[in-house]
Amino acid sequence: TQTMDYKKISKRIKKSILENSFKANACHIGSALSCVDILIELYYKILKKGDIFVFSKASGVSALYAILNDKKPMDNSVFYYLAKYPLPSKTVPGVIHSTGSLGHGLPVAVGLAYANPKDKVYCLISDGEVQEGTTYESALFARQHNLKNLFVIVDNNGYQALGKTKDILDLKTAFNFLKKTLPNCSIRKTIKGGNIDFLQKTEGHYKNLTKESLDKALTQ
């Protein structure tokens, strides 16, 4: 079996995120770049046929679209959804649930895990979503029903829309709660904006790319 070059895949995915976000004049690029390596791990190493994946950190959807397109090339029109607003649409092949308002993906994943005990259900949430009440309710339900087939991954990039998560609402206690309550919970330390320096921190949330900034980003 040929060994996959994950660095090459990552570079390809990031290029797709940047170019398609630019074409769509879409923001939330930093959110997408922070979860690239998590999605690559899921789609190229972990997810098997029959497994279920819910992408809850909705605004980073350009990363999900890029991964799905990389696995199985789709009509470029799917990237049109980035122009409307960068949120997952279940009309895109491979997206099982349209998420938008944060905190909704995990409840859906919990329901799917409860209803399909023989299936593995994976859910990627953002650190900002840990501030949502639905996240706590879902975790408690998962513990109550011992949903060992549910696997939750938190993209902990340390930033939300307008600042550092620790300054807006420190999540240390919340992370400990999730790790103790959810049967399977992995909290991943990531970088908002990935390796693109001017898209890191809060700048990567609502910033749109210009042709100049796109060219600069593609060199990093």
Note the pLDDT tens digit of each residue in 89-127.
Answer: 888 889 998 887 788 999 999 999 999 999 999 999 999
d(CA 216, CA 193): 14
Q: What's the pLDDT score for residue 2?
A: 58
Q: What is the pTM of this model?
A: 0.93
Burial class of residue 176 in the structure, from the number of CB atoms within 10 Å of its CB (0-12 exposed, 13-18 middle, 19+ buried): exposed
Of 21-25, 45-49, 160-164, 179-183, give the lowest mean pLDDT range. Answer: 160-164
The pLDDT tens digits for 167-182 are 988 999 999 999 999 9
CA distances from 132 to 83, 105, 166, 218 (A): 27, 11, 15, 34
> Residue holding tokens 């910033």?
207
Handedness of CA 4, 8, 9, 10 (dihedral sign): positive
Q: 131 and 45 in contact (C-beta within 8 Å)? A: no
The pLDDT tens digits for 6-29 are 999 999 999 999 999 999 888 889
Residue 1, pLDDT above cutoff 50: no
